[in-house]
Amino acid sequence: MVQNGEVESRGCTCRVGARQRFGDEAVEYAEDQLDEVGRRDPTWSTDYECPDCGQRWILDYPGAPPHGPRAVARLRTIAEAARDVRMALADVAVILRDNDSAKEVAATLDEYLKDYPDPT
């Protein structure tokens, strides 16, 4: 929120709030509460960090054109993003069932991401 030209923080709610936010809530939380630390093109993702607790977040627009409508915005903690990647890696065995090398790489990545923690 901006008042009199200065940003007013609503206070850190990373630890007690949702670990995922969607739509307008996602964009507003990122803009009001978090510091942008990087952008990734061509994925149109933005990386954020909470200035109060260090929690890292990713804002993206899955299934939408670049910088899609706010309605499809998704803001997730890094740990939630790691969980989503692990779920997708489980599909490698189905998609590439005859490719043992791909399945081994997917299993290795899964192991790296298995216990990815959010900062405490």
The 3-class SS string of 48-73 reads EECCCCCCEEEEECCCCCCCCCHHHC
Instruction: Collect all residues with Cβ–Cβ distance below 8 Å to 117 and sequence separation of at least 6.
Output: 79
43, pLDDT greater than 70 = no
The average pLDDT across 57-71 equals 79
What's the token pair of residue 31? 């803009």
Domain spans of the chain?
A: 2-113
pTM of the model: 0.73
Say what the pLDDT of residue 1 is.
Answer: 37
Q: What's the confidence (pLDDT) of residue 119? A: 52
Q: How far apart are CA 62 and CA 72, in angstroms?
A: 7
Quote the pLDDT of residue 107. 93
78-89 vs 100-113: helix axis angle to the nearest 10?
Answer: 160
Say which residue, 108 or 17, is predicted with more confidence: 108
pLDDT higher than threshold 80 for residue 110: yes
Residue 117's pLDDT is what? Answer: 66
- Contact by Cβ (8 Å): 17, 81: no
What b/e sequence results for 53-74 when a residue is b if at least 16 CB atoms lie within 10 Å of its CB, and e otherwise?
Answer: eebbbbbbbeeeeeeeeeeebb
Q: Which amino acid is at 28?
A: E
pLDDT at 99 over 90: yes
